Structure 1
Amino acid sequence: MQHRTLPQWRKNLYVLAFGDFVSGTGFSMSLPFLPLFIGQLAHFSRVQLTFYAGLAYAISFISQAIVSPLWGKLADRTGRKPMILRSGFGMCIIGFLCGTVPNIWWLLFWRFLYGCFSGYNSNSQALIASEAPDEFGGKAMGILTTGRVGGQLIGPIIGGIIASVAGYRMTFFVFGAIMLFASLLALFYVHEDFHPLPATDSTQHGSAMKQLEHPGLIVAMFITTMLVMAATKAINPIISLFVQQLMHHHGDVSLVSGIITALPGFATIFAANRLGALGDKVGAGKVLISGLIFCSCVFAATSFVHSVYTLGICRFLIGISDAALLPLTQTIVMLNSPNAVVSRVFSYMQSFQAIGSIIGPMIGSVVAGHFSYATVFMVTAMMAVINLVIVVISFSTKKQSPKGAH
């Protein structure tokens, strides 16, 4: 059989990409109906309902940002596979428990713990980063990104179907079941060649950043992931309202909003693997800088759209730019992080992504409330320009040629 001839790192990659797909699916499955589910737990006013729905969404990212570095440090001591299993089985149990909650407080509690058990994606990246040959790093990170984004895209669809057929709670039970399956696959088919360093080694007790040859470059990648997530999610609170404005309050706004929301993800799935492979050939740094330039131009252009068709085109192009940004930042981190601290570095990156996921919608809501929907895109364009400047400076101050980083 062909799969038996694959090197182990490729087998690990495919199993973990499937796990990333499942974890992305599970987190997004409840998004279409989360406010409705909360509304069933008690009689809330409109203000209370929107507040609790927003809190239930954000609280997982808050706990994720706090605990990710702790899990990363443990992964560098014990191996990445144990942390993947810890996260996978933990999400499985908590996903099931979310379906049993009697009130909003238990839901918030389990959602908080859900974030605490995060780390499947970051440890998947760390494991593959420690094993994949450098010449395939960009493509490997692109495959992992495709799995995660694909899950986030299909999750709301699956969740909506299950909720309409079997009720809201069944969605959480289904997620627990498929996460259990993905975790068992990782348990039996992922094999890590991990050799822990002696307990006295400085890398086990010192700061991970002190072990990096180019810490400024890595910090720039952290900021990049945070700003990319913030810019991408800034439109989430106002997308349906902006679509409604463009459609002049006529037509199926919900359907069109759903399509517009999904377009960047489809573009990312289409382009992530290809752009990751391109980064392996010409240099991840070059593709990343090009992606930031392209991103800032598209965001600026989006602020001038006057129809849902041009908005859809711009959102699709944003998805392509995302495919050039997230996998390539991960590739640069992979190529510039020693194996002894790679899990901690990727966990820091996950924390920055979580922070971006929190502040992005907040920025979008505030800007749209005080100015206009179109202004949100101009602000995100400015964020992309700032990000570009940071990345260019970080590469210019790096002593060696960026070709390896490339």
Structure 2
Amino acid sequence: MPIWRRNLIVCWFGMFVTGVGMSQIAPVLPLFIRQLGVDHASAVSQYSGIAFGITYIVSAVFSPIWGYAADKIGRKPMLLRASLGMALVVGCMGFAHNVYVLIGLRLLQGVITGYGTACTTLIATQTDKAHSGYALGTLSTANIAGSLLGPLIGGFIEENFGMQNVFFITGGFMLIAFLTTLFFVKETFVRSDKKVLSMSETWSRIPEKKLTVMLFITFLVITVAMYSVEPVITVYVDGLSRSLGHVALIAGITFSASGLANIFAAPRLGKLSDRIGAHKVMLVSLAAAGLLFIPQAFVHNVWQLMALRFLLGLTVGGLSPSVNILMKKITPSALTGRIFGLNMSAAYLGVFAGAAMGGEVSAWLGVRDVFYVTGALLLMNAVWVYFQVFKPLESGKQTAGTSS
């Protein structure tokens, strides 16, 4: 088995459990905070928002730092640091004796994150051009699926094994990720003794600055879209279910349906990107995702919503691989970790911004309007991609073909 393929398998598992570890706390957080002695409903909501959001905000700050470290000292050391650190921190959350300790541990979790950045950089630099789309497409499913399935997994563990075991079991999975990384990931990395570049010097060496910024923004918009419904999905499902019962479980399944579809679609659309061009797949996927959000506002029962969420996941499966493939092509190999770190920061900010946007739109306009606004955001991004990415790349191909 080629080294890149074996590393891909290990990194996929590690990124999946890391994604679960970041998001599994969502459904049990209010209950756990209440158990820690916070009784007032408004205080529970306030502390829940802080504890959930602080991890992603801090991760957005530290992700480029760990990306730089991956370029400087190697990707495998960053994988080991992040996986072991998260295993210990998440496990310790089960022993938190008050809400301030819990928030502190969630903050620390954001500081030590970086497993996804190192994995993406490792696979992007090891995989040959012919297989890069498949490899990055497969890898992109891990973090997205882990983040989207995390709330469902956390809720299942809490219901069947107890609240504290959510943290212990998740930490145990991360410890397994550390061990598999330690023994099975192979990397040949030559450390550089060159002068450390500042951020401005790093940016000056990026050949396609405009396209790079465009890809950052697109990745941010993708993540905002995926998480905009998280604050309202339970309320929406409750209204659609007509007293079916198990609302929390059904809401978790509905929210996670797009993550399941993403697992199936992303590797295949990654391969398609290798054949026809990542910019084409990205444009079609953005437009299709935007259009699929709109009918979610018109559904009459929860099964229709689940079906549309699943179809949405199929389209979104073409977005992350396309962004990563284009990012790899336009980024010098020595700067890959830093640029992918910035891209991961955009994703972390997107999780927080998406949840905040969904909550505000629902509060001011209504639950169904969340789907309209999110669909419009994706369609506007698709138009921007058409003029700023698709047309220039297609024109470049035609020019190259004419000159030859």
TM-score by length of 2: 0.92
Residues 185-204 of structure 1 correspond to what in structure 2 (within 5 A)?
A: 185-200=180-195
| Counterpart selection for 1:383 from 371, 377, 385 | 377
Displacement of 1:83: 1.2
- Whether 2:325 is the aligned partner of 1:331: answer yes
Aligned 8 A contact 2:149 2:256 in 1: no
Displacement of 1:328: 1.4
> How far apart, in 2, do the equivalents of 1:247 and 1:159 lie?
22
Instruction: Structure 2: give runs of 5+ residues left out of the alignment.
Output: none
Aligned 8 A contact 2:25 2:52 in 1: no
Displacement of 1:193: 2.1
Residues 3-402 of structure 1 correspond to what in structure 2 (within 5 A)?
A: 6-152=1-147, 154-200=149-195, 207-248=201-242, 251-395=245-389, 396-397=391-392, 400-401=396-397
**Mean alpha-carbon deviation: is it higher for 72-81 or for 192-201?**
192-201
Cα-to-partner distance string for 1:93-151 (whole Å, 9 max, x where unaligned): 11122111110001000100101111101110011101101121111112112333443
> How far apart, in 1, do the equivalents of 2:370 and 2:18 lie?
29
Residues 196, 205 of structure 1: alpha-carbon distance in 2 compared, 3 angstrom cutoff = farther
> How far apart, in 2, do the equivalents of 1:218 and 1:336 lie?
8
Cα-to-partner distance string for 1:193-250 (whole Å, 9 max, x where unaligned): 222334138x677533322221211111111111111111111111111122234556
Displacement of 1:154: 4.9
Aligned 8 A contact 2:151 2:252 in 1: no
Displacement of 1:397: 4.5
> How far apart, in 1, do the equivalents of 2:198 and 2:334 lie?
8
Displacement of 1:274: 0.8
Aligned positions, number: 398
Aligned 8 A contact 1:77 1:204 in 2: no
Q: CA RMSD in A?
A: 2.2
Classify the secondary structure of the residue corresponding to 2:95: coil
> How far apart, in 1, do the equivalents of 2:311 and 2:161 lie?
36
Q: Which amino acid aligns with 2:94?
A: G
Q: Which amino acid aligns with 1:191?
A: K
Q: Which amino acid aligns with 2:283?
A: I
Q: Which amino acid aligns with 1:170?
A: N
Displacement of 1:320: 1.0
Residues 26, 403 of structure 1: alpha-carbon distance in 2 compared, 3 angstrom cutoff = farther
**Mean alpha-carbon deviation: is it higher for 97-106 or for 163-172?**
163-172
Aligned 8 A contact 1:64 1:118 in 2: yes
> How far apart, in 2, do the equivalents of 1:402 and 1:248 lie?
56
Residues 292, 205 of structure 1: alpha-carbon distance in 2 compared, 3 angstrom cutoff = closer
Instruction: Structure 1: give runs of 5+ residues left out of the alignment.
Output: 1-5
Residues 159, 253 of structure 1: alpha-carbon distance in 2 compared, 3 angstrom cutoff = closer
Residues 324, 245 of structure 1: alpha-carbon distance in 2 compared, 3 angstrom cutoff = same
